C-alpha cells in the first residue's frame, strides 16, 4: 500500500507540473500570436511544419474557396506535430467530408460549433486516423430519422459499440487509442471509447467533444466522457447510453463534487481552438491539448445541507482478483434480518469506478449479505465517520466453508 501511495503521489505531481508548464508555454505563445495578423500567422505556422511545408502549401493552393475558412482554422490551431506530419490529401478529405456531414444533417449549427466541434480530425493526442468516410457510412443509417443532434448521439451511443464489438477494458493497449486501434483490439479505456463516440458523432454533423476530470474528488482515478451540443452542451458516458436521455450517468453524482478552483478536481472539455487552459491527459501530462474549464455546469446550482451519511462503495472480485464479479448485495443491521438497502455489483465492461454505492450511517456496524447463484456469504462492515468508503471483497476459495467474505488486499 505504501508503494502504491508513493506511485500515485508521484503520478499526480508529474501531471500537475505538466499542466502548469504547458499552460505557461501556451500563454506566452498566445500573447505573441494575438499581436500577429492572420496572413503572417499562417506563414509562421507553415514554417513550423519543417519538411512538411510543401504538403501544407499544396493544401492552401488546391482547397476549394468555400472550404478555405475551415483549412485556415485547422492550420492556425493544430498542434505542431500535426503541422509536421499531415498531408494535403488528409486535410482536404477531412474538410470535404465534414461539410458533407453538415449539409446532410437536418439540424442547424453555428459556424463556430462546426469549426471547433465537427470539423476537427482528432480530439486530443490520439493517432490521426482518416475515420470520417467509414463512420459516415456506418452512422448515417443509424441517425436517418433523427431530428436533433442529441437524439442522434443517443442512437449512435446505443448502437455503435455493439456493431463494432468494442467494449471497455483495462486490458487495452493504451488510454488514448484512435478509433482504428480500439476497433482492431475490441477493447478501449473510457478515453478510447469517448474518442470513438465523439468521432462517430462528428461524422454525421453532431458537434461533440471529450470531457474529463484528472482525479475524482471522492474516489481514485480519472474519467473521460463525451459532451454533445443540443441547444447547449449535454453529457453522456461512451458505450453507456441511458434510455432516459442525456445528462443521466453513473458518474453525475461524482461530477457534482468537482472543484472549479482545483486543477486536479476540475472538469475540462477539450477544444481544438486554442485556449488558455489545458486538457488533463494523465497519460501524457507533458503534451498540450486545449480545453475549457466547464466544472460549474456539473455542480448543482442549489446547495442543500451536507448529509452526515457515509458513501460506501462496494466491489466484489473473484478469488485471485483477476476480474470483478456480479453479485447481489444486501445491507442489514448487524443483528437483524430486515434488509435496509440492496443492489448489484458491476463487472465486465462497466467502468472500474462505476460501483454499487450505499448511503449508510457513520461509525456503525452493518452486515453485508452477498449472493451469487446458490452461494450466500456475509461480511461485517464498520463504516467510517464521514466521506467515502471503498469496500473491496474477494470471493473465497472452494474449500473455504466459513461462509464469510474477506476484504481484498491491494
pLDDT tens per residue, range 217-251: 888 889 999 999 999 999 999 999 999 999 999 99
Main-chain dihedrals φ then ψ at residue 281, nearest 5 degrees: -90, 95
| Multiple choice CATH, 2-298, 3.30.1150.10, 3.10.620.30, 3.90.1510.10, 3.40.50.261 | 3.10.620.30
Counts of helices then strands in the chain (DSSP H, E):
13, 16
Mind listing the pLDDT tens digit of every residue in the chain (410 residues)?
333 443 344 444 444 444 444 444 444 455 455 557 889 999 999 999 999 999 999 999 999 999 999 999 999 999 999 999 999 999 999 999 999 999 999 999 999 999 999 999 999 999 999 999 999 999 999 999 999 999 999 999 999 999 999 999 989 999 999 999 999 999 999 999 999 999 999 999 999 999 999 999 888 889 999 999 999 999 999 999 999 999 999 999 899 999 999 999 999 999 999 999 988 887 787 778 999 999 999 998 754 445 678 888 899 988 888 889 898 899 988 888 888 888 899 888 888 888 888 889 898 999 999 988 888 888 999 999 888 888 989 888 766 656 666 665 54
Beta partners for residue 270, in sequence order: 291
Cα dihedral: 355, 358, 361, 365 (round 10): -80
Q: How far apart are CA 27 and CA 29, in angstroms?
A: 5
In the chain, what are the domain boundaries?
2-298, 310-398
Instruction: Of 232, 303, 307, 296, give the one whose Cα is nearest residue 265.
Output: 296
Instruction: Of 107, 75, 104, give the one whose Cα is nearest residue 92.
Output: 75
365-372 and 328-333 beta bridge pairing = antiparallel
Q: How far apart are CA 288 and CA 1, in angstroms?
A: 32
Instruction: Of 190, 159, 166, give the one whose Cα is nearest residue 180.
Output: 166
Q: How far apart are CA 319 and CA 400, in angstroms?
A: 11
One fold for 2-298 and 310-398? no
Q: How far apart are CA 37 and CA 43, in angstroms?
A: 10
> What CATH number was assigned to the domain covering residues 310-398?
2.60.40.10
Instruction: Of 270, 123, 116, 286, give the one whose Cα is nearest residue 192.
Output: 123
pTM value? Answer: 0.80
**Residue 32 confidence (pLDDT):** 52
Distance of CA 362 to the CA centre of its chain: 32
Amino acid at each position: 500500500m505504501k508503494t502504491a501511495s508513493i506511485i500515485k503521489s508521484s503520478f499526480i505531481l508529474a501531471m500537475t507540473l505538466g499542466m502548469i508548464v504547458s499552460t505557461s508555454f501556451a500563454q506566452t505563445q498566445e500573447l505573441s500570436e494575438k499581436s500577429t495578423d492572420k496572413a503572417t500567422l499562417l506563414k509562421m505556422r507553415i514554417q513550423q511544419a519543417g519538411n512538411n511545408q510543401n504538403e501544407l502549401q499544396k493544401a492552401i493552393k488546391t482547397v476549394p474557396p468555400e472550404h478555405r475558412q475551415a483549412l485556415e482554422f485547422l492550420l492556425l490551431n493544430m498542434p505542431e506535430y500535426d503541422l509536421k506530419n499531415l498531408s494535403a490529401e488528409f486535410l482536404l478529405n477531412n474538410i470535404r467530408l465534414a461539410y458533407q456531414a453538415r449539409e446532410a444533417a437536418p439540424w442547424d449549427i453555428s459556424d463556430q460549433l462546426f469549426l471547433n466541434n465537427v470539423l476537427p480530425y482528432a480530439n486530443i493526442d490520439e493517432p490521426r486516423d482518416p475515420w470520417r468516410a467509414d463512420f459516415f457510412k456506418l452512422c448515417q443509417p443509424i441517425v436517418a430519422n433523427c431530428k436533433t443532434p442529441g437524439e442522434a448521439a443517443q442512437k449512435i451511443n446505443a448502437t455503435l459499440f455493439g456493431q463494432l464489438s468494442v467494449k471497455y477494458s483495462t486490458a487495452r493497449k493504451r488510454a488514448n487509442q484512435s478509433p482504428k486501434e480500439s476497433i482492431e483490439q475490441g477493447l478501449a479505456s473510457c478515453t478510447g471509447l469517448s474518442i470513438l463516440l465523439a468521432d462517430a458523432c462528428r461524422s454525421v454533423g453532431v458537434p461533440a467533444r471529450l470531457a474529463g476530470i484528472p482525479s475524482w474528488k471522492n474516489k481514485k482515478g480519472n474519467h473521460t466522457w463525451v459532451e454533445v451540443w443540443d441547444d447547449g452542451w449535454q453529457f453522456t458516458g461512451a458505450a453507456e447510453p441511458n434510455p432516459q436521455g442525456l445528462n443521466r450517468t453513473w458518474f453525475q453524482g461524482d461530477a457534482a463534487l468537482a472543484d472549479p478552483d482545483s486543477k486536479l478536481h476540475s472538469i475540462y472539455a477539450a477544444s481544438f481552438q486554442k485556449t488558455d487552459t489545458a486538457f488533463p491527459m494523465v497519460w501524457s501530462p507533458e503534451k498540450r491539448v486545449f480545453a475549457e474549464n466547464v466544472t460549474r455546469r456539473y455542480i448543482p446550482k442549489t446547495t442543500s445541507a451536507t448529509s452526515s451519511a457515509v458513501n460506501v462503495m462496494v466491489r466484489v472480485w473473484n478469488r485471485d482478483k483477476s476480474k470483478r464479479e456480479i453479485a447481489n448485495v444486501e445491507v442489514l443491521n448487524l443483528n437483524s434480518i430486515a434488509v435496509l438497502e440492496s443492489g448489484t455489483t458491476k463487472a465486465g465492461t462497466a467502468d472500474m469506478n462505476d460501483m454499487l454505492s450505499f448511503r449508510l450511517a457513520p461509525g456503525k456496524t452493518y452486515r453485508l449479505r452477498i449472493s451469487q447463484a446458490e452461494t450466500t456469504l456475509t461480511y461485517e462492515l464498520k463504516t467510517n465517520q464521514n466521506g467515502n468508503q471503498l469496500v473491496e471483497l474477494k470471493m473465497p476459495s472452494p474449500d473455504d466453508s466459513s461462509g464469510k467474505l474477506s476484504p481484498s488486499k491491494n
